[in-house]
Amino acid sequence: MPKSLPNPQGKVVLLDDGLLSQALLASRKSERRRIIQPIQRSQDSKVQRLLNCLQPGSYIRPHCHSQAHATETICLLSGSLEVLIFSPEGAVTARHLLSPKSPLIDLEPGVWHGMIVKEADSVILEIKHGPYQAMHDKDFAPWAPPENSPEAADYLARLQ
């Protein structure tokens, strides 16, 4: 299963029931318990805009975006999730619940963070500086187990 659905085409993309239903269905079927629906037409776009459809149990390995331009804005569209902020050594220093009353968080470069999905069919809009380059997009925390490793489920359970 892919990590992302195809980039849309055309000059206008409308987030309607059809687009959202397709992405949510893909997230439910995904082994990762999440799927990205890009909104930008190309990974080369100067501003990356994407929907991330998330299900409880999805392990989002703590990471940071270390490039000087790599701010990240996350806006909750539905559901709820907790954004965890970590020290460079891996201690949780803050927990921010994204909910309808507090739907947005903006992170500067170099902030170690991860997420815990609290409700089924949670959807976030992420906005980041582009273009997308997988090799430079994020630095994974060396103190957090890799996705799909035997330790990942236990680590996620401890964070919860």
Residue 69, SS3?
coil
Query: How would you class 78 by CB atoms within 10 Å of its CB: exposed for 0-12, middle for 13-18, buried for 19 or more?
Result: middle
Domain edges within the chain:
17-159
Q: What is the pTM of this model?
A: 0.93
Amino acid at 102: S
Instruction: State which fold the 17-159 domain adopts.
Output: Jelly Rolls (2.60.120)
Query: How would you class 51 by CB atoms within 10 Å of its CB: exposed for 0-12, middle for 13-18, buried for 19 or more?
Result: buried
Query: How would you class 60 by CB atoms within 10 Å of its CB: exposed for 0-12, middle for 13-18, buried for 19 or more?
Result: buried
pLDDT tens for the chain, 160 residues long, are 689 999 999 999 999 999 999 999 999 999 999 999 999 999 889 999 999 999 999 999 999 998 888 899 999 999 999 999 999 999 999 999 999 999 999 999 999 999 999 999 999 999 998 877 766 678 999 999 999 999 999 999 999 9
